Amino acid sequence: MENILKYQNKFRIRSTRLSRFDYSSNGYYFVTICVKEKICCLGTVKNNKCELSELGIIVKKCWLEIPKHFPEIALDFYEIMPNHLHGILINNNNHDCRDGACPVSTLGNIVGSFKSASSNLIHKIDISFKWQSRFYDHVIRNEKSLSAIREYISLNPTKWGQDEENPDNK
């Protein structure tokens, strides 16, 4: 049962991560992070733009601070939607790690730190806020894929009316 783990000691789930891939390696990573139960609390889409709520502003602040806490990480396109965030993280890890003493961070560490920091600040306003426990990631392997993902992110607000993440579409 390769790549199957127990989630919360109850459910067997297949990992969404690429097996045998080093998520601390240089490259571009597309992530989607969702609010638990897809609750629309980060903003509202008006005139094809997401107007951020107070919680959404906190999420944006924490997202933009990722490079302060992880200097090897740069931010590319991102969009905060009413109940999720899409973003591209660029790992520019220039460390020589052959001796094993390398201060690199994995994608999971970075997203986990972001979720923790934003949750801590948001809980000062809304104690019930939670992120989904997992996140979606995609390793971007070439310029064509990078371009398509950037376009997808930038067009996300314009397609909110048809988006499956939009609870009004259910």
CATH number of 65's domain: 3.30.70.1290
* Side-chain-facing half-sphere of 136: CA atoms under 13 Å: 10
Residue type for 162, please?
A: Q
- Report which of residues 169 and 97 the model is more confident about: 169
Contacts of 25 (CB under 8 A, 6+ apart): 91, 93
- Average pLDDT over every residue of 77-95: 91
As a whole number of angstroms, the distance between CA 20 and CA 82 comes to 34
Total domain count, the chain? 1
Domain for residue 23, yes or no? no
Q: 43-59 pLDDT, tens per residue?
A: 999 999 999 999 999 99
* Side-chain-facing half-sphere of 138: CA atoms under 13 Å: 13
Domain for residue 18, yes or no? no
- Identify the band that residue 107 occupies on the pLDDT scale cut at 50, 70 and 90: confident
Q: Sign (positive/negative) of CA torsion 64, 70, 72, 78?
A: negative
- Answer whether residue 18 shows pLDDT above 70: no
- With residue 149 as reference, give the H or E element that holds it: helix 143-155
Domain for residue 79, yes or no? yes
Domain for residue 48, yes or no? yes
User: Residue 40 belongs to what domain range?
Assistant: 28-95+104-158
Domain for residue 113, yes or no? yes
Directed axis angle between helix 54-64 and helix 107-122, to 10°?
Answer: 140
User: Which pLDDT value is given to residue 145?
Assistant: 96
